[in-house]
């Protein structure tokens, strides 16, 4: 008995070690691969690189350029950032979405994207202006520098109002008609005192356009900006449900007694994506027999306003059942069009008499529809006649037996 217990304990211990080894082996392999890749990197390496090193802009135009801060070494780095030189008459900084950045943490073999922003002061004329930026590790052992040259030409844009400017990184947004679009705008005041600006927007008829703080669900109609400061706000746009696919311009205005400005935005509607499906009579049930094909037709309708391409059919069915569709897929379906699909269901030869569920998923472009069909499996009619024959034979045998017993 002791030997059996020892043998059993050894077997359990062996299985546990095998399972543990099976779990840890892939992890160690992955870590090994990561370490192998890291070996190909230098011990430490950083760089700072603007997306554009030279640009040409009209007089009075603000400039925003993406800046990539990279760590190409094997260890994580804390990197300090600064502008080492900026021409007179310009306000320049390195920033994120909402604030100025002086330092950034970058993991090994990765990078961070920031923005270099330069704003000309009133009266800054045409010419070439050079800006220099420097990235330096926290311990000061590694540095990287880059330059940006801004060439100012021509006259100030007429749409640029004195004293205030509106900028956005994404003036064009694209999406379906039933979506909400949110633009992020930065409003810069060049006035020497705090000012309240009134906000207004001009867009398509029956569209909802509201001003709100970024990432907050409340609306406002005016914005207070401190002297020579900027504020970020969001413009939420909700298209009319009847809007057709196309391009729709939106004009945003900020205005005070001393200054006014405007920005042009664009919403590109691709339409709505929606699929409906069902049967003409609304019934989602059918009768079938073991091993025999049963047919049912259903329709697929494009209820949206955008074209649907490559509509496919998927089924979830009982084991050993077959479900086929004709056609197997719909190449394209225009808005409002309807297509009929023939579905063939074949129950298993061993299916028991009773009710079963077959789920059909209609997968379109950015839209889908699910249908659940109830299939009632009935016994074959041949077996019914066999049963009737057996009953007849039994009755005939009983009658013959009674007649014979009566003679006796």
User: Within 13 Å of residue 108, how many CA atoms lie on the same side as its CB?
Assistant: 14
Q: Quick check: is 18 in a domain?
A: no
User: Within 13 Å of residue 253, how many CA atoms lie on the same side as its CB?
Assistant: 10
Q: Quick check: is 3 in a domain?
A: no
Residues 280, 374 share a domain: yes
Q: State residue 394 phi and psi, 5-degree precision.
A: -65, -45
Q: pTM of the predicted model, to two decimals?
A: 0.47
Residues 258, 234 share a domain: yes
Domain end residue (candidates: 153, 182, 213)? 153
CA dihedral in degrees (362, 364, 367, 370; nearest 10)?
A: 0
Estimate to the nearest angstrom the gap between the alpha carbon of 162 and the chain centroid: 40
Count of domains observed in the chain: 3
Q: Quick check: is 332 in a domain?
A: yes
Residues 310, 247 share a domain: no
| Distance, CA of 310 to CA of 332 (rounded, Å) | 6
Residues 239, 184 share a domain: yes
Residues of the chain scoring pLDDT < 50: 1-5, 8, 23-25, 27-31, 156-161
Q: Quick check: is 9 in a domain?
A: no
| Distance, CA of 151 to CA of 268 (rounded, Å) | 32
Residues 253, 168 share a domain: yes
Residues 279, 253 share a domain: no
Say if residues 202 and 223 touch (Cβ distance below 8 Å): no
Q: Given the DSSP bridges, would you call strands 110-120 and 63-71 parallel, antiparallel or unpaired?
A: antiparallel
Q: Quick check: is 171 in a domain?
A: yes
Residue with tokens 């920033």: 95
Task: Kindly give, in sequence order, each residue whose CB lies less than 8 Å from that of residue 74, ignoring residues fewer than 6 positions away.
Answer: 38, 41, 42, 43, 44, 108, 109
Q: Quick check: is 405 in a domain?
A: no
Q: State residue 86 phi and psi, 5-degree precision.
A: -145, 135
Q: Which of 373, 386, 376 minimizes the C-alpha distance to 290?
A: 376
Predicted pLDDT at 11: 55
CATH number at residue 74: 2.60.40.10
Residues 295, 261 share a domain: no
Residues 200, 174 share a domain: yes
Give 28-43 pLDDT, tens digit per residue: 444 455 555 566 889 9
Q: Quick check: is 362 in a domain?
A: yes
Residues 332, 285 share a domain: yes
Say if residues 122 and 162 touch (Cβ distance below 8 Å): yes
Predicted pLDDT at 405: 73
Residues 122, 169 share a domain: no
Q: State residue 91 phi and psi, 5-degree precision.
A: -110, 120
Q: Quick check: is 216 in a domain?
A: yes
Residue with tokens 């394209």: 332
Give 61-89 pLDDT, tens digit per residue: 889 899 999 999 999 999 999 999 999 99
Domain end residue (candidates: 121, 153, 185)? 153
Predicted pLDDT at 324: 96
Q: Is the dihedral of CA 94, 98, 102, 103 positive or negative?
A: negative
Domain end residue (candidates: 251, 269, 287)? 269
Residues 65, 93 share a domain: yes
Residues 224, 168 share a domain: yes
Query: By residue range, what is the domain housing residue 106?
Result: 46-153
Predicted pLDDT at 1: 47
């Amino acid at each position: 008995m002791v030997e059996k217990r020892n043998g059993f304990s050894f077997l359990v211990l062996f299985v546990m070690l095998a399972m543990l080894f099976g779990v840890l082996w892939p992890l160690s392999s992955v870590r090994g691969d990561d370490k192998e890749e890291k070996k190909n990197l230098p011990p430490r390496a950083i760089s700072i690189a603007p997306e554009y090193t030279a640009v040409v802009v009209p007089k009075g135009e603000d400039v925003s350029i993406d800046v990539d801060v990279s760590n190409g070494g094997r260890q994580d780095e804390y990197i300090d950032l600064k502008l080492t030189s900026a021409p007179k008459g310009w306000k320049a900084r390195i920033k994120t979405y909402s604030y100025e950045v002086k330092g950034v943490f970058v993991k090994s073999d990765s990078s961070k994207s920031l923005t270099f922003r330069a704003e000309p002061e009133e009266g800054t004329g045409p010419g070439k202006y050079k800006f220099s930026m420097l990235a330096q590790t926290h311990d000061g052992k590694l540095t990287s520098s880059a330059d940006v040259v801004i060439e100012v030409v021509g006259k100030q844009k007429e749409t640029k109002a004195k004293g205030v400017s509106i900028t956005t990184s994404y003036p064009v947004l694209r999406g379906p008609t039933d979506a909400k679009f949110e633009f992020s705008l930065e409003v810069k005041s060049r006035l020497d005192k705090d000012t309240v600006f009134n906000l207004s927007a001009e867009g398509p008829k029956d569209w909802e356009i509201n001003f709100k703080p970024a990432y907050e669900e409340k609306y406002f109609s005016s914005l207070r900006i401190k002297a020579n400061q900027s504020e970020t706000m969001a413009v939420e746009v909700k298209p009319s449900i009847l809007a057709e696919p196309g391009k729709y311009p939106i004009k945003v205005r900020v205005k005070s007694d001393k200054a006014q400005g405007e920005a042009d935005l664009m919403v590109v509607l691709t339409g709505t994506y929606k699929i409906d499906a069902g049967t003409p009579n609304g019934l989602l049930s059918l009768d079938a027999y073991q091993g025999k094909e049963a047919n049912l037709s259903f329709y697929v309708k494009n209820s949206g306003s955008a074209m649907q391409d490559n509509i496919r059919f998927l089924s979830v069915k009982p084991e050993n059942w077959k479900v086929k569709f004709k056609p197997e897929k719909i190449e394209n379906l225009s808005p409002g069009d309807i297509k009929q699909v023939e579905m063939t269901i074949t129950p298993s030869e061993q299916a028991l008499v009773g009710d079963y569920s077959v789920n059909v998923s209609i997968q379109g472009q950015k839209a889908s529809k699910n249908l659940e069909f109830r299939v009632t499996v009935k016994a074959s009619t041949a077996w019914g006649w066999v049963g009737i024959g057996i009953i007849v034979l039994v009755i005939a045998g009983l009658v013959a037996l009674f007649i014979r017993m009566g003679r006796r």
